[in-house]
Amino acid sequence: MAMHEDFDKLRKEYTVAGLMEQDCGNDPIALFGQWLLEAIRKNVTEPNAMVLATATKHGVPSSRMVLLKDVDHDGFTFFTNYESRKGMELEQNHNASLLFFWAELERQIRIEGSVSKLSRSDSENYFRLRPRGSQLSTWVSRQSKVVASRATLVEQMEKLSRQFGDDEIPTPPHWGGYCLQAHTIEFWQGRPDRLHDRLRFSLEAEQFWKLERLSP
């Protein structure tokens, strides 16, 4: 197959920054926070958007974007429908990965670990903060199931909106948060001539991370 000639014009040199061991510290969660802040300050589009990859118990993978809503030493938090495809896969197989790519900073972060559900009260606390329209749509959407038409969804949304009136909308039982507790976090910084920097933190013991450089 001939390579599309336009692809060749897309060649880009990475020159924005470098990543050296001495600048990383020994806490990858802190470094992640620093990089996220830099992405926000650079006005990267949806800086908290990340690819979440899951797999079935047989190892068949799937991926999609979700939004990071919190991060600390307990893990990386996102919210979704527990009965969606990702929810079903996480039920069978708690191993998952997250991926951030911030083009303007020429940076990628790969995160691997194990996912568990947030407590009900943490999910409810976040649900209360969501705009009313988003709260309603979590009741309407049977995420990842086939739906007859868009009109069906819109009708259900209007019907539910009338039913709830001005009442508080409760958190649906099928909706909530997950937290990915990382065991591996790799920071990638693009460099000239494809001689990129890759530094990988691996969790060796509680709060003790081993740092290694990987070949680009």
Give me the active site residues, please: 194
How many residues in the shown chain lie near ligand FMN by CB under 6 A?
A: 16
Interface segment toward ligand FMN; rule CB under 6 A; list 25-33, 62-70, 92-100, 128-136:
62-70
**Of 98, 112, 108, 110, nearest to 52 (Cα)?**
98
Our CB check for ligand FMN shows the closer of 128 and 210 to be 128
Asked if 66 touches ligand FMN (CB under 6 A), the answer is yes
Sequence-distant (≥ 6) Cβ neighbours of residue 24 within 8 angstroms = 31, 187, 199, 211
Interface segment toward ligand FMN; rule CB under 6 A; list 2-10, 59-67, 107-115, 201-209:
59-67
Contact in structure between 175 and 87 (CB atoms under 8 Å): no
Question: What residues from 29 to 48 belong to the interface with ligand FMN (CB under 6 A)?
Answer: 46
Question: Least distance to ligand FMN from the beta carbon of 164, Å?
Answer: 21
Could you say which of 19, 32, 44, 80 contacts ligand FMN (CB under 6 A)? 80
Asked if 144 touches ligand FMN (CB under 6 A), the answer is yes
Asked if 126 touches ligand FMN (CB under 6 A), the answer is no
Asked if 79 touches ligand FMN (CB under 6 A), the answer is yes
Alpha carbon of residue 204 to chain centroid: 24
Q: Where are the alpha helices (DSSP H) in the chain?
A: 5-8, 28-41, 85-92, 120-129, 132-140, 150-164
Rounded distance, CA 194 to CA 176, Å? Answer: 41
What single-letter DSSP state applies at residue 26? S
What single-letter DSSP state applies at residue 40? H
Rounded distance, CA 214 to CA 110, Å? Answer: 13
Interface segment toward ligand FMN; rule CB under 6 A; list 16-24, 72-80, 131-139, 193-201:
72-80
Contact in structure between 173 and 164 (CB atoms under 8 Å): no
Our CB check for ligand FMN shows the closer of 179 and 199 to be 179
Asked if 143 touches ligand FMN (CB under 6 A), the answer is yes
Asked if 175 touches ligand FMN (CB under 6 A), the answer is no
Could you say which of 38, 64, 70, 169 contacts ligand FMN (CB under 6 A)? 64
For CA atoms 69, 120, 174, 168, the dihedral sign is negative
Tokens 């919210």 belong to residue: 79
Question: Least distance to ligand FMN from the beta carbon of 172, Å?
Answer: 12
Which residues of this protein are in contact with ligand FMN, per CB under 6 A? 46, 49, 62, 64-67, 78-81, 84-86, 143-144
